[in-house]
Amino acid sequence: MLLCHGFTGSPGSLRPWAEYLAEQGLTVSLPRLPGHGTTVQDMARTGWKDWYGALDSALTDLVSQCSQVFLCGLSMGACLALRLASVHPSRSAVQGLVLVNPSLAMDNKLLLVAPALKYVVRTVPGIASDIKKPGAAEPGYKRVPVAAAATLPEMWRTTVADLGKIGAPVLVFRSAEDHVVGPASLPLLLKALPSSQVTVVPCPESYHVATLDNDAPAIFEGSAKFIQDHTA
C-alpha cells in the first residue's frame, strides 16, 4: 500500500489509516512529501513535480518488495496517486486506487494569479484541519506558501489530461460537506473513466480530512475490503 497525504499536510493525516491497513497484514508505505511536515519556508522551495517524484520513488521501492500494490491518497495526494497510475498504466503491480476527496480542479480563483502573487505575498491562510469531529485536528501548516500553490494548476491539468490511461479499479470516498475541495473535481474523474471502473461512497458525517473524521472507520474498513476483493 502506498498512501499519499495532502497539500500542506503530513503523514499524520493518514497515520490511523496506515496503521489499520498494517494491522490487516499489508505492507504500508506512507512517505512525507518534500517540503511538508517541516516548515512553510521549506515547502515554498518545492512544487508538485518534487512531490510526485518522491511518490514515484516510493512506488518503485514497493514494487520491488510486493507483487501487487494499491495506491491511496487524500486530496492532492489522491491526485498524485491518479497521476502515478496514468504514468504507469502497464505496471501490473498496481491493482487499484482508493481516493478520499480527490482534488482535480481549481477551487480558489486566487490560484489564477498565484504565479505573480508569489512575488508580493509569500503565504496565505492555511487549509488544514477541515474536520467535523469535535477535538480532532490535522497536523499541517497554518499558512500556505503561495509559490508552492502556484504549481497546483499544472498538476491538475497534467493529471486530468491522462486520466483515461488508468485501467485499475478506483474507489472514491467523498464527503458531503467539504470546505477545501469543491464540486468540480469528482465529475472530471467520472467523465474520464467508465462507470464500471469507479465506485463512489459518500461520507455523510465528515468534512475534507475524512481520514481523521467521523467516517474514518468506514473508510478504513471499506478500503480493506476493496483491497481484498481486487487482490489477485
Measured distance CA(77)–CA(68) in Å, rounded: 20
Cα–Cα distance list, 47 to 8, 119, 147, 196, 227 (Å): 11, 16, 8, 34, 31
CB 40 within 8 A of CB 141: yes
CB 136 within 8 A of CB 213: yes
* List 10, 13, 36, 75, catalytic entry: 75
Q: Is there a catalytic annotation at residue 178?
A: yes
Q: How many CB atoms lie within 10 A of CB 204?
A: 11
* List 5, 36, 175, 178, catalytic entry: 178
Residue ranges in the chain assigned as alpha helix (H) = 15-23, 40-44, 48-65, 76-87, 114-117, 146-149, 152-161, 185-192, 216-229
* List 175, 208, 215, 223, catalytic entry: 208
Q: Is there a catalytic annotation at residue 75?
A: yes
Residue of 226, 171, 225, 228 whose CA lies nearest to 203: 171
Cα–Cα distance list, 180 to 19, 26, 105, 184 (Å): 25, 30, 11, 12
Active site residues: 75, 178, 208
